[in-house]
Structure 1
Amino acid sequence: MIESIIGFTALIIMVFLRLPLAFAMGVVGFIGFWYINDYNWNAAMSMAARRIIDTGQDYSLSVIPLFILMGNFVTKAGLSNELYRACNAFVGHKRGGLSMSTILACGGFSAICGSSLATSATMSQVAMPPMRKYGYSDGLAAASIAAGGTLGILIPPSVMLVIYGLLTESSIRELFAAGFLPGLLGIGLYLAAVQWVVFRSPESAPPGERMPWGQRFIALRGILSTLLLFVLVMGGIYVGAFTPTEAAGIGATGAFALAAYRRKLNYQVMRDILVDTAKHLRHSSLWSFVR
């Protein structure tokens, strides 16, 4: 009992010292294993090496970086901007409409990424400038992005659901199916929260410009490729055409093809995509836990 308390305390201290969670947990686990095996360094080193090799050879874990890679390709292809514009075309003219557009766009982007961190980072670049332009309060703007980013945890293909399924040996397909309703419920409640804030403080969210129906339908055409990619990935999983890992690979390939078709790729962009993917993985506590 005392050893557990000491180990947990050491872990918390290292985390507050901003040591990456993966290294903090690795240090505590390594030293703890060394201690409970009568200070046997060879046993601890063997355990650490075996764990690293087994994790690196785990084929099923490749689904996590592949879904995040798909989201990064979509972002570089400009599809995240089109998704936000399509949502803004229908609700942006309302008071608080830009905040609602942000939440809807976060839900749509989560459906092709699965990472809350990637969703928040992307939508902060896409949605924050328009909200500041129209005089939205910083609190409402930031809260819309932060709340919408959490939808990546629920809406398939959620990285958290993938990891939970791998750890508990549950069906990832069934977990994805179970995540749809809570995700839609979360979107609805966030939209209601925006309306409540605007009702109490109308000056915090001025209305935007109303778009004619012709431009709204044009904006919808821009997200057809995103919708088709989502249907391909999730539909293939649900009908049993391919596994979640294969779906992630197909989704990343499809997003790459879309970015290449739009001529958005070059050496620097590819490098940025890979760096961003590694960064999102490094800052993900769940991925650190699995490692």
Structure 2
Amino acid sequence: MDITLITIVAVGLIFVFMALGTPVFAALALSGAFGIIMVEDFSFLMNRLKTFSFSNTANYSLTVIPLFVLMGAFAHHANVGKRLFHVANKWVGHWPGGLAMAGILTSAGFAATSGSSVATAATVGSVAIPEMKKAGYDPRLAAGSVAAGGVLGVLIPPSVLLIFYAAITEVSAGKMLIAGIVPGILSTLVFMAGVAIIGRSERNSASRRVKAPIGERLRSAGQAWQVVVLFVIVLGGIYLGLVTPTEAGAIGAVAALLMLLLGREGRAKLKENLLDSFRSTTTTTVMILFTMIGAGIFSYFLTLVQVPHIVAAAITESGISPYLIVGVLLLLYIPLGMFLDAFSMMVITLPIMFPTVVGLGFDPIWFGILCVKMCEIGLITPPVGLNCFVIAGIDRDTPLSDVFQGSFWFVLMELVTAVLIFAFPAIVTWLPDNMMGR
């Protein structure tokens, strides 16, 4: 069978399997296995699979993933999200769309303790959405702002997706984490600016809170001490070169555990909280590793038929502007994000895109942040939009269609942020280029 036809059929099989309800990692693995058999034979596939799982997941950089997820789980049960929302509400609740802004600020703060987008959306959603509904906010703004705020969990370090990118491309994990700080702040500010505009509608303007006295706001800021401690321990240690990302994850997880043990609410249901934390960490880690294996098999098939080499050669010899090439490659993540999760997209696309981008002379850290930004969009766009499904599960009175409609405003804001980062690479590169111990 012709190589081109085999490739087309293998790609088509992914969507056939997904339409049948097959998990994404299995759809990718089965499609890749079919392609390998067609190109070589069944015995070749079996020989490759003997060591494939180990060779693709036995990466020291990946050990930080369960540590960051566990740190976020402990922080969640220590009620970090609830305290953050209370603080943010005191400071910005009186602004147009203030409660939605408070939810975004809380998401940004909680993202600094957790590397998971879904965990961020679920934690903040359970606190912020009831408050916004009680105040009479438009349900679309309430649900959409929290779903979008959750995407900050994969950009603001400690981010699991940034570590994942570093492991695949073999760039510095520490630099990738530090590189996410300024873009994360920029994304938060763009979201808040967008909410300020949306919040001026008649319905949302009527829901503005009374401005809290400055003394009350200053006193409330002390409740955010847990986030500050974890941020300094993890990112401060990495930036100063005192610890590696893995060591920072371990220290951060222990610090979050101590916060859970010292908190009155955490001790009340200590056994339940610990079991839930370990269970969610195990589930998330296994999901990521299975995705790596499944998408890795399909990626190996693409390498076997030399798709990355052919595409990279064609692009570099085309004479097209390098910036236009990178822009087109990034835009491909939007349709992919409608059907695949972020981890699958990265494993499939980076073997093709990364050599091309580096070959054109672009900074791999800068490109990594842009990849994550484009993956974020997939978390809030139909039909997969995982964050939107999480919010719909929390707020059962708001239809899923309204959640997606509310998140669409934030998709546009994400594109604005991505354009700014694309046009001004220093937003990404300045901080990691100046970190100590690099």
Q: TM-score, normalised by structure 2?
A: 0.62
Q: Separation in 1 of the partners of 2:166 and 2:148?
A: 24
**Cα separation, partners in 2 of 1:207 and 1:280, compared to 1, 3 Å:** farther
With 132-141 and 11-20 compared, the bigger mean Cα shift is at: 11-20
Residue number in structure 2 paired with 1:3: 6
Q: Would you say 1:277 and 2:249 are equivalent positions?
A: no
1:251 positional shift: 1.1
With 50-59 and 79-88 compared, the bigger mean Cα shift is at: 50-59
Contact 2:61 2:163 (C-alpha < 8 Å) held by counterparts: no
1:12 positional shift: 1.7
Contact 1:95 1:202 (C-alpha < 8 Å) held by counterparts: no
For 1:26, the aligned partner's letter is A
1:287 positional shift: 4.7
Residue number in structure 2 paired with 1:19: 22
1:286 positional shift: 4.3
1:279 positional shift: 4.2
For 1:166, the aligned partner's letter is A
1:137 positional shift: 0.8
Residues 80-135 of structure 1: per-residue CA shift (max 9 Å, x gap): 11111111111112231100001111111111112212111111111111001111
1:56 positional shift: 4.5
Identity of aligned residues (%): 36
Contact 2:178 2:235 (C-alpha < 8 Å) held by counterparts: no
Q: Would you say 1:163 and 2:164 are equivalent positions?
A: yes
For 1:22, the aligned partner's letter is F
Residue number in structure 2 paired with 1:35: 38
Residue number in structure 1 paired with 2:408: none
Residues 200-248 of structure 1: per-residue CA shift (max 9 Å, x gap): x131351124333343233211111220111110011111111111211
SS of residue paired to 1:53: helix
Q: Separation in 2 of the partners of 1:56 and 1:267?
A: 31
How many residues of Structure 1 are paired with residues of Structure 2 in the alignment? Answer: 288
Aligned runs of 1:14-163 on 2, under 5 Å? 14-40=17-43, 43-163=44-164
**Cα separation, partners in 2 of 1:174 and 1:58, compared to 1, 3 Å:** closer
Residue number in structure 1 paired with 2:178: 177
Q: Separation in 2 of the partners of 1:16 and 1:261?
A: 48
Q: Separation in 1 of the partners of 2:242 and 2:130?
A: 41
Q: Separation in 2 of the partners of 1:21 and 1:65?
A: 21
SS of residue paired to 1:66: helix
Residue number in structure 2 paired with 1:203: 203
- CA RMSD, Structure 1 to Structure 2 (Å): 2.1
Question: Which consecutive residues of structure 1, in runs of 5 or more, have no partner in the other structure?
Answer: none
For 1:39, the aligned partner's letter is F
Q: TM-score, normalised by structure 1?
A: 0.91
Question: Which consecutive residues of structure 2, in runs of 5 or more, have no partner in the other structure?
Answer: 292-340, 349-438
SS of residue paired to 2:70: helix
**Cα separation, partners in 2 of 1:290 and 1:69, compared to 1, 3 Å:** farther
SS of residue paired to 1:10: helix
Aligned runs of 1:248-263 on 2, under 5 Å? 248-263=249-264
Residue number in structure 2 paired with 1:193: 194
